[in-house]
Amino acid sequence: LSSEVKTVKLRPGVYSISASLTVANDNIGIIGSGPLATQILHSVTSDNALEFTAGSTLNYNVVKDIGFQATGTPTNVAINLSDCANATIENIYVTNFDDAVKFTTVTNSRINNLTTVAMRNFSIHLLSTSNGIAINGFDLDGDDSSSTRGVFANAAHGISFSGGSIKDSEWGMELQACEISFDGAIESTTLGCFLFPGTGGALTVLSGYYRNIGTTAVYNTTSTGQNNITVVYHNLITDATEPANV
């Protein structure tokens, strides 16, 4: 399989869409002229803006240098990948969607320089054995409402975050049966920074900063039957109370 990408170049401007744009082939790049210069305005609240799905694994797709904005009260995703490998999401700005980027069974892929504003659900959503995902450069902002998460991950392994920040969500990160390393900053203004509601997982905070000015501990377990949760801190700077044992 060749990794040579065929590029669809979007010139500067606002592109209004009223249905999903679907990519069902390998090696397709959708590249704008910068996230403030090239913007996709999505007016339908239920459809996702950009879909990568084919019923079998897609390889080597790229989305780069584009801004996404939803109108109304959305229940949708800006960039949705299902069963993909070797994907690149880079230099993306997302405003007012439910989710910004959602991966379902995605492997060996990366997100570089993702900025979100006023997300209503999850800025980054990782599901169903999404493995080997590197997120480098991120500024994830929620709308401070109930159930918002900067990152929600379930059964995701080998996930690394570096060089970014998460703020203005009910919980900074919710991790269910995951293996995550985090190097960045989290500030929670409502509940807390790390939430483990599942039956286990591992989080390594390599070096970073967290600040909880909400109502509970920095991370918390809200369900019974918690086990096999490992949290390791290295070079952590905090002005919050140390996390309780789980």
pLDDT of residue 189: 67
- CA-to-CA dists, residue 212 to 169, 186, 237, angstroms: 11, 8, 12
- CA-to-CA dists, residue 244 to 71, 131, 173, 219, angstroms: 41, 28, 16, 8
Distance (Å, rounded) from C-alpha 235 to C-alpha 233? 7
Instruction: Express each pLDDT in 166-213 by its tens digit.
Output: 988 888 888 887 888 888 888 776 777 777 776 556 676 655 656 555
Residue 182 CA to chain centroid, in angstroms?
A: 13
pLDDT of residue 200: 59
Distance (Å, rounded) from C-alpha 52 to C-alpha 47? 13
- CA-to-CA dists, residue 58 to 16, 62, 76, 179, angstroms: 26, 11, 21, 24
**Both ends of the chain: CA-CA distance in Å?**
45
pLDDT of residue 246: 32
**Averaged pLDDT of the chain:** 82
Distance (Å, rounded) from C-alpha 123 to C-alpha 146? 14
Tokens for 63, please give them.
């989305």
Q: Mark the ranges of the chain whose per-residue pLDDT is less than 50.
A: 1-2, 214-218, 220, 222-228, 235-237, 239-246
Question: Which pTM does this prediction carry?
Answer: 0.87
Instruction: Express each pLDDT in 34-58 by its tens digit.
Output: 999 999 999 877 789 999 999 899 9
